Structure formats: C-alpha cells, structure tokens
Structure 1
Amino acid sequence: MYCHNCGAKNVENAIFCEKCGTKLSEPNVRASKSMGNKTSFTGKNKPSTILVVIGYIFAILGGLIGILIGVYLYTRDNQDSKFHGRNMLVIAAVIICLSVIATSLFSGSLNTPIAPAMGTKNFNNGQFSFDYPDVWNINNTRTDASMTAVDLGDSNMYQTDVVKSSGVVIGKILKSSGRTVEDSKNMFLALSGDMKETSTNYITVDGVTAKESIYTGPNNHGHVTEVRAITWEKGDSTYMIMCIARGSDLGNTLNSQKKYFDTIINSFRTL
C-alpha cells in the first residue's frame, strides 16, 4: 500500500503512513506501484451503452430527447461520456439545420405559382408551317415572285406609340430571284435602329444548320431593341427568322421572350 500524500510504501492494511502519519483508510485511494501516488479511475462514471445508443438514434432523428441525452452526457465527469455527448449534439445540430433548409426550400416551391401552359396556333401557307403563341397575332402575309414573308407578334408590335413589344418576321427567298437573305436581313435591321452584332452561333432549324446572330442597338423610341436573326438555306430557297424584342432596356429582352421565339423556331417546317 502506498501513501496518497507522500507516496511512501506501507504494509498492507496499514491505517497510518509510517513516514508522514497520514491516515490511509480515507479517502481510501489505492495507488499501484507503477502509478506512484496518482489516483486511478474506477470506471463508475462510464455511460450506459443503452443510453448512448438511444442518444445517437434520437440525435440522428433530430429529436429533443437526443439533444437532452447529449447535454447530459457532455456534462458528466468522464471522457467517454463527454465524447459521445459532444457527438450527439453535433449530429443533432446538423440534422436540425438540414431539416430547416429542406423545409424552407419545399415550402418555397409550394408557394411558387405555376405558370399556365402556353397555348399555340398553327400557320400553314402551303410553303412552310410553324406554331406560334396563341396570344400573338398574324399581322401580315405577302408573296411576290421572289419572296414570301409573314409578320406576327404581340398586341403591341404594330402600335407605333408603344415602346415595349415582341414579334417575328419570317421570310422565304428564292435563290433564282437574285435577292439574298443577307440583303433582306440588313434591310430589316436598318429599319429596327442602329443595330450592332454582338454574337454569332449555329443552331438547327428544320433539320439543317442555321446561322444565329444577335444584334442590339437604340431604336426610334429612344430605347434599346434586341434582334435574333436566324438564316439558312434549304432546297431552292433561303430562309430567315427575325425575332424582335423592343424595349430590352425596360425588361422586354430576347431572353424574357425566349419561349415565344423558340416555339416558332423549333416548330418551323418547309412543305
């Protein structure tokens, strides 16, 4: 037996230390020879396995019971208890945060109004056909020896005093006429304003590769117009689809009207 005060070795079951006189029976701490006068852990404060399992289950479920068990274990005077308690609190906090985020996203999606499906009409003049938004109107169709053209757009497109409008001009030009689609496109751009090309791309229209160019510039109303010009050749003719968004500086952009323009472009077919 070793004295917990001075560390001196005493005979087994001694009541007082032979060296310093300290009473050995209280606090009844026995130190092993290898530990000197250091106190050993008895293991009485280790957490119950069942309690730990229940705590983790409720922590993963994000329940209050899991948090309470985590707090209880974390405040115990035992390293195992503190370890498990801390883990439970961290797990519960993460689960609760994820639940709050998921709930916010889900409730937000429920509150987002669903846009009604866009209805369409069909145009067919015997030379080509396409679908267009049912809220738009065909304004004019014209045919001569070299060209067939169709104008359509929203209700504001052909009102001279309205600064925001959207529409499309479709043209078919016979190659034998000597006219080119570039001439027709440039003439249209000149009427739209001081237009400058900003980008060029290639897309597929009616099964063939078409050139897509984006133009922007000031118009006669003192605002900005955007034009999406698509041109291609097929058979004995060249074609163009000119998509116009007037008042793009006021929010009426090619992008905001894209679903209307794409309805026409994607459904266009030669006959």
Structure 2
Amino acid sequence: MVLVMGLQRMLCGVRRLPPTHTTSPPSCVAGFHVASTEPDTQYHQIKDSVSGKVREIAYKKTSGPKDVGLVYIPGFMGHKGGGKPLALHPFTQQYGFPYVRYDPSGLGESKGLNKTETLFSTWLEDAAQILEHVTEGPQIIVASSMGNWITCHLANKVPDKFLGIVMLAPAINFHHRYKKVLFSQLHPEALKKFMEGEIVKLYSPDYGEFPLKNEQFEAMQKYEVNLDKGNIQLTCPVRIIHGMKDKDVPHLESLTLVSALQSQDVHLTYLKESGHTLNDPASLEVIFDTILKLDHQIHHPHEEPPS
C-alpha cells in the first residue's frame, strides 16, 4: 500500500518530530567509538571502457557496527562536502551506521576529469562503482535531487545493494525543465554559445559557479525514466521528502514519482517551509528521523516504528 504522509503539513507547517537522533545510541552500538574528526579522503580508480582514461573518485568512509550501511548519492554538481552529507557524518557515527559519501567525477577532490568533461553516464558509473566496490553489504541509499534519477538506474545494476531508499527532493528527468530555464534566463549571446556547444559559466547563490555545456543535457535524453504508473522497478521501501518551497523541482512531481514506483511501501512527506536543499535544521531532523524509522522497519518488519 502506498502511504502519502505529511499532506496536512500544507496547512499547518512542519511538525517537529521527536529529536530521536539526539538521544543515546541504541544498545547495539553501546561502547562504539565516535570519531571526533573527519575520516581521511580515499580514492577509487575507474578506467573508462572507451577511452581507457583513468579517473579517481574521492570518497570518505566510516565504519560502524550496524549491518546496514548508508551511502549518499549527491545531486547535480553536488559532492561529499555539501550540507546534507556533512550533517549525516555525526548522525551515522552516533547510531553506528557504516557510511560512504563521495565526489562525482569533475567535482570536489576527484581527479582525472573536469566538470565540462562529465556526463550523466559518467556520474551513473561513479555511483555504481562506489556501491559495488566501496560500500560493504546492503545499504540504505540516501539520494538528493538528480541522485534519485541515478538511483532509479542503479536499482537494475546492483539490486542486492538496495534495502531502502530515502529520496530527497527527487529530480527525475530534470534536464527538460533546466534547459527551459536556461533558455529564458541566458543572455542571447551566451545562449548562442551554449547551443553551439561552447561552455557557459553560470552562478547560483546556493551552488556557486559551475560551467555547463549543451552536450551534458543532450546526453541525458537516453537516460530518461518513464514515469508511467508502476514503471520504475524499485521494490524496496522508499521514503520521499520534498520541500514545498522548492524552486528547482516542483514538489507535486513527487506525487507522480510515487505512482511510478513499483514498491508498495512508499511514504511521501511534504515540508511546508523547506526548499530544495533540505539542509536546514528542521529538514535535517526529519531526514534523520526517517532513516532511523526505516532502519527499524528493515530489522523489525512486523513492528510499528518508534514514535
């Protein structure tokens, strides 16, 4: 059964959930050492099957006694140093989750490609490699924005890794809308360069400066996901969190996504006062609580989640 949660929050705002993530860790992680510093950056090498060029994906990995890990898949131009993946580090340490976050090719500390050389297929391969070769055992995937589009494709590539998914402001097939925005806002001269395949540098207060090429969007077309009812072959539990003040991805698109997912265990939570990034304290509290309840359900499928 598909359960849509949080619709009443449209009228009354965000319901402050009990701060479960600030209480003592569960007994299964008693005595586990919580690191006070950031883990060292490590690198995973990927050799391109066509060009033979080697790139190195930077990642940070922490251990934990739990048998279910967390892996964070960032959105468009996102990386392991963003607000949400950083906030997840102390949370996963407190509750004993093994945790992996990484920089997609061309971003952060990753090496071998620059931003303008990367395509959707590059980032898809990055995520698949991290899941297959860096994470250990089954995972709860926490994906942000475009990372959810990548996740939809990964489900067929590495299904054994998927125990549950927390989708944050999912941006499936976002390239159509993004190009429309570019066409409406770019100066005619910049738009001409963009359409001719040249690099156009853009700036966003939320994301800083980033270069774009038309090729990146054209290459996304072959990865479009059919959002017809039941077409997305994700069968594990899915939790979707979307801010109603999201200016990048309309929150009602998540309703379409709920219908497209094959899973019968889907919850959709709307946060009235949150935007696209979901990295404010209230949104993070909901994300943490959602992960804990999903983990409880995975281990105790016939019990009610803790309130």
Give 1 or 2: higher helix fraction: 2
TM-score calculated relative to the size of structure 2: 0.21
TM-score calculated relative to the size of structure 1: 0.23
Larger radius of gyration: 1
Give 1 or 2: higher strand fraction: 1
